[in-house]
Amino acid sequence: MDGGMDIRTQRLVRFVGVQKTYDGEHLVVKNLDLDIRKGEFVTLLGPSGSGKTTTLMMLAGFEVPTHGEIFIADRPIKNMPPHKRDIGMVFQNYALFPHLTIEENVAFPLTVRGTAKAEVTERVRNALRMIKLENLAHRRPGQLSGGQQQRVALARALVFNPQMVLMDEPLGALDKRLREHMQLEIKQLHEQMGITVVYVTHDQGEALTMSDRIAVFNDGIVQQIDKPDALYERPVNSLVANFIGENNVLSGTVETIEQGFCRVALASGGSVVAQAVNVQGPGAATALSVRPERIVIVPDGAATDLANRLPATVQDTIYLGDHALAVLKVAGNGEFMVKLPPGAHAGLGHGQAVSIAFRPEDCRALDPV
Ligand SMILES: Nc1ncnc2c1ncn2[C@@H]1O[C@H](COP(=O)(O)OP(=O)(O)O)[C@@H](O)[C@H]1O
Ligand SMILES: [Mg+2]
């Protein structure tokens, strides 16, 4: 992908050892190292209060890091005021000027920059065309739907052609259908314009849909920064495994480790072979992580060539149209989920004894929960 190009010419943003406290005691961003490449769509994902907005505000220049340094294009930005950073912003609550028309709202970043009138007209027209709201140019925000207002906020953030746009939960106020539509629209705009986007959300589905890379935040610490598929397939700890997608957890104790795999004794008896991803060593507690689609149900008594096999009891089945889920009790976990092809749930009834099986490669031994 980088075609041998110098990484320094590609990197647009760099956080180095950034910390932030508001009260002088509690660090809300603990030690952030994060590089963002030019043209990349990076999402800060995490639960409420994990430090996402604070991180975005430090990049925008509305908050100052307590320690560490932020660079844009290899220049420290400590003393660069927000309007010099060439950044567009979109917030959850749109923050449009209610007394201005749509056209005037979108023109605002240009007029404050003293752009010539003819150029303002031209750029505003292009921006409104881009978000398909040319015919509503003379309305006021109050006369638009939530989705339309958010598109105006987007146009306003992009109209002055900034090098980067920051978005903080921009779709949080919209209903699910519109949110999913807007996710695709923003993603397409990003692809067309090649602009760098730093996006904040607490919605993992949204992050997976839109991002080139995702930084998973928890309690002021980035747990993992990776591509969406890597976060899902190769989480480095239990927190990420549980935050991204559906995860099955089995608790146990490491018995042996050999060539990257470990044998784990389950508390309820029996054992499993797993990838030794994040375990301390023999005798240490671990939480095994297995995704629902990596497990098969084996009828009781039937054979399987998958190395891990455990007894299970059917609790429930859930029909979901394109697939079904079996909820099982496995090794004391009563909410163990197995994804089934459509129709395959029909033969399973509550209380039925079956086996589940999965490969060691599809099971990750992580830190205990
Ligand atoms: N201006 C502020 N003054 C004091 N504390 C703040 C301020 N902004 C955020 N915090 C606190 O910092 C922590 C992180 O907040 P925030 O960055 O908004 O998280 P997120 O966007 O992930 O929900 C929270 O505990 C929050 O209460
Ligand atoms: Mg926030």
d(CA 153, CA 351): 53
Look at residue 5 in the predicted model and tell me its pLDDT. 52
Last residue of a domain, one of 185, 211, 238: 238
Domain boundary among 238, 272, 304: 238
**Per the domain annotation, does 269 fall within a domain?**
yes
| Ligand 2 center from residue 344 Cα (angstroms) | 42
Please identify, among 204, 238, 272, the residue that sits at the C-terminal boundary of a domain. 238
Same domain, 81 and 152: yes
The residue type at 10: Q
23 and 126 in a single domain? The answer is yes
Q: Ligand 1: distance of its center to the CA of 255 in Å? A: 42
Lookup: tokens for 21: 């406290």
**Ligand 1, atom 27: nearest CA belongs to which residue?**
49
In a domain, 314, yes or no: yes
Alpha helix (H) residue ranges in the chain: 7-10, 52-60, 102-112, 117-130, 146-158, 176-193, 204-210, 228-233, 238-243
The answer to whether residues 231 and 344 belong to one domain is: no
Q: In this structure, is the dihedral angle defined by the CA atoms of residues 166, 170, 172 and 178, taken in order, positive or negative?
A: negative
For residues 199 and 166, give the distance between their C-alpha atoms in angstroms, rounded to a whole number.
6
User: How many angstroms separate the alpha carbon of residue 26 from the centre of ligand 1?
Assistant: 11
Please name which ligand lies nearest the alpha carbon of 28: 1
Q: Write the CATH number for 77.
A: 3.40.50.300
**Closest protein CA for atom 6 of ligand 1:** 22
Residues 173 and 219 grouped into a single domain:
yes
Same domain, 41 and 183: yes
Q: Which amino acid residue places its CA nearest to atom 9 of ligand 1?
A: 54
With respect to residue 137, please indicate whether it lies within any of the assigned structural domains: yes
Is the same domain home to 52 and 77?
yes
Residue 278 sits in a domain whose CATH number is 2.40.50.100
pLDDT of residue 9: 54
Judge whether 20 lies within some domain: yes
Q: Are residues 127 and 24 in the same domain?
A: yes
Per-residue pLDDT tens listing for the chain (369 residues): 444 455 445 899 999 999 999 999 999 999 999 999 999 999 999 999 999 999 999 999 999 999 999 999 999 999 999 989 999 999 887 789 999 999 999 999 999 989 999 999 999 999 998 888 899 999 999 999 988 998 999 999 999 999 999 999 999 888 888 889 889 989 998 998 899 999 999 999 999 999 999 999 999 999 999 999 999 999 999 999 999 999 999 999 999 999 999 999 998 889 999 999 999 999 999 999 999 999 999 987 888 899 999 999 999 999 998 999 999 999 999 999 999 988 787 789 999 999 999 999 999 999 999
Ligand 1 pocket (Cβ < 6 Å) reads: 22, 28, 46, 48-54
In the prediction, which pLDDT does 3 show? 45
Are residues 298 and 339 both part of a single domain?
A: yes
The answer on 130 and 234 residing in a single domain is yes
Do residues 160 and 120 share a domain?
Answer: yes
Q: Which of 52, 53, 91 should be mutated for ligand 1, with most atoms under 8 A from CB?
A: 53
Kindly state whether residue 86 falls inside one of the protein's structural domains: yes
> Residue 264: inside a domain, yes or no?
yes
Total number of domains constituting the chain: 2
Please tell me the distance between residue 7's alpha carbon and the centre of ligand 1 in angstroms: 33
From 18, 28, 59, give the residue whose CB has the most ligand 1 atoms within 8 Å, as the site to mutate.
Answer: 28
Looking at the fold, whether 164 and 211 belong to one and the same domain comes out as yes
Q: Tell me: do 232 and 268 sit in the same domain.
A: no
208-247 burial, b at 16+ Cβ within 10 Å, e below that, comes to bbbbebbbbbbebbbbbbbebeebbeebbbbbbbbbbbeb
Q: Indicate whether 138 belongs to any domain.
A: yes
Q: Atom 8, ligand 1: which residue's CA is nearest?
A: 54
Residue in 29, 54, 55 to alter for ligand 1 test, most ligand atoms within 8 A of Cβ: 54
Closest ligand relative to 23 C-alpha: 1
**Could you list the residue range(s) of the whole structural domain that residue 350 is in?**
246-366
Which atom from ligand 1 is nearest to the alpha carbon of 29?
14
In a domain, 2, yes or no: no
